[in-house]
Amino acid sequence: MSFDPRTPPVQSRLPQVGTTIFTVMSALAQQHDAVNLGQGFPDFQGDPALLDAVNRAMREGHNQYPPMAGVPALREAIAGKIAAIHGHHYDPGSDITVTAGATQAILTAVLALVQPGDEVVVLEPCYDSYEPSITLAGARTVRVPLDPQSLHVDFDRLAAALTPRTRLLIINTPHNPSGMVWTEDERAQLRDLLRPTDILVLSDEVYEHMVFEGRPHASVSGDPELAARSIVVSSFGKTFHVTGWKVGYVAAPAPLMAEFRKVHQFNVFTVNTPMQHGLAAYLADPAPYRDLPAFYQRKRDLFRQGLATTRFQLLPCEGTYFQCVDYSAISDLGDAAFCQWLIEHAGVAAIPLSAFYAEPPKRPLIRFCFAKQDETLTRALARLQAL
């Protein structure tokens, strides 16, 4: 007797998760030869000096497993950078861990710090990996909308959302997708709000060096009380235009980092060795990240100047490399349908903001990425201006 092969059924841990809108829009952009301003990655190369540093590390034999928490020289460089910018001293041995990008860091932090039945507060709109990470930890996501006009934090609504079951608050500054940047006053309000609680903070700061008009980056590392209860996440891929390397880091006080590393060692263990050595050498010069705000502010201004002659309504962009726009003067389609129409009829790809919400937002908004070569932005603008 013969039997047909059969794959047994599986109960999904993430039944609501399918192909992400980022993948869908990028595939459509390729199909229609559209200018892809959707996914958040540059279309230009990283610094040749950084590439040379990685090549040199490989040639020098740095090709075997590094320590689980990361190459010591890189952890020391990270701690030195944070101390120089924010004045907070993390111990490279116990407080810094190198990760396989920021998304892995976020999932690891949530799994390490959150128990089944806990509540985790996120500020909406938010990056699409937050809620799946919370779900995998068996916790419940509590969404608190940003102010609909300013897209800054509504602290009254945030305070009302905190309960005895709240274990973790996830914040993001500079903020994806809105481009909002926390102020130092807002950081102080957060410190005062959390002071009587045992709530932990996961601070997603991957765009930390993309803050415009001379604004400071109000990292939680810059406030001793917040630093004591926070895990800070950042990304070398974002900062140095090498998103495909998937190398980031976390900084946290030793008791939180000890729990983080327990999970980290079993879901990724460690991170690409030669890239760590290359990054450690490259960080000796602060100019590449020190000059990044001016680099992206010029691109932002070029893009905004071009969009000002279109029917799109521009939202403020205080940081990141994203520009959100209101398209209500052009179409009454839903945002996902409008993004598909934009690819097919204008040849430009964007991301619908509904990808960052549990329920579609009332305002018709889409997000463009301006981390592109000037000629890419100019080509996209010419197509958008024709609408």
Task: Convert the pLDDT of each residue in 19-53 to its tens digit.
Answer: 788 888 889 989 999 999 998 889 999 999 999 99
Statement to judge: residues 252 and 302 lie in one domain:
no
Average pLDDT over residues 261-274: 97
Torsion sign over Cα 159, 164, 111, 91: positive
Average pLDDT over residues 199-228: 98
Q: What is the pLDDT of residues 106-135, one digit of tens each?
A: 999 999 999 999 999 999 999 999 999 999
Of 4-18, 41-55, 76-90, the range with the lowest mean pLDDT is 4-18
Q: What is the value of pTM for the model shown?
A: 0.96
Give the domain CATH number at 167: 3.40.640.10
- Asked which of 267, 284, 301 is the last residue of a domain, the reply is 284
Statement to judge: residues 209 and 341 lie in one domain:
no
Maximum Cα interatomic distance, the chain, rounded to a whole number of Å: 76
Average pLDDT over residues 66-75: 98
Q: Which pair of structure tokens corresponds to residue 29? A: 């952009």
Q: Burial, 24: exposed, middle or buried (Cβ in 10 Å; 0-12, 13-18, 19+)?
A: middle
Q: Burial, 61: exposed, middle or buried (Cβ in 10 Å; 0-12, 13-18, 19+)?
A: exposed
φ, ψ for residue 83 (rounded to 5)?
-65, -40
Q: Which range marks the domain in which residue 95 is found?
A: 48-284
Mean pLDDT value across the chain: 96
Statement to judge: residues 106 and 132 lie in one domain:
yes
CA dist 76 and 74 (Å) reads 5
Statement to judge: residues 79 and 222 lie in one domain:
yes
Please give the tally of structural domains in the chain.
Answer: 2
Give the domain CATH number at 333: 3.90.1150.10
Statement to judge: residues 56 and 93 lie in one domain:
yes
Give yes or no for residue 236 having a pLDDT over 90.
yes
Q: Does 2 reside within a domain?
A: no
Of 31-40, 108-117, 265-274, 298-307, the range with the lowest mean pLDDT is 31-40
User: In this predicted structure, what is the pLDDT of residue 4?
Assistant: 79
User: In this predicted structure, what is the pLDDT of residue 1?
Assistant: 63
Give yes or no for residue 311 having a pLDDT over 80.
yes
Q: What is the pLDDT of residues 126-178, one digit of tens each?
A: 999 999 999 999 999 999 999 988 889 999 999 999 999 999 999 999 999 99
Statement to judge: residues 200 and 127 lie in one domain:
yes
Q: What is the pLDDT of residues 316-363, one digit of tens each?
A: 999 999 999 999 999 999 999 999 999 999 999 999 999 999 998 889
Average pLDDT over residues 189-205: 98
Q: Does 81 reside within a domain?
A: yes
What percent of the chain has pLDDT above 90? 91
Q: Does 343 reside within a domain?
A: yes
- Asked which of 263, 284, 305 is the last residue of a domain, the reply is 284
User: In this predicted structure, what is the pLDDT of residue 218?
Assistant: 98
Statement to judge: residues 255 and 381 lie in one domain:
no
**pLDDT band for position 304 (cuts 50, 70, 90):** very high
